[in-house]
Amino acid sequence: MKSGEKIYKTMNLTGVISLTAGIVMIVIGVAAGVMTIVSGAMLLSRKKDVLF
C-alpha cells in the first residue's frame, strides 16, 4: 500500500468517527435538554403543594 493511500484511509476513518461522535453528542444533548425542561415543568406545576 502506498503512503498516500494509507493517509487517505486514515483520514477517512477519522472523519467517520468524528461525524459519528458529533451525532451522538447532539442526541445526548437534546435528550438532556428535554429531560431538564420536563423536570422543571413538573416542579413548577407542583409548587403549590409545598408547605413550609
Whole-structure pTM value: 0.72
Distance, CA of 42 to CA of 45 (rounded, Å)? 5
In order along its 52 residues, the chain shows pLDDT tens digits of: 688 899 999 999 999 999 999 999 999 999 999 999 999 999 999 988 887 7
Q: What is the DSSP letter of 44?
A: H
C-alpha cell at 14: 477519522
The amino acid occupying position 25 is: M
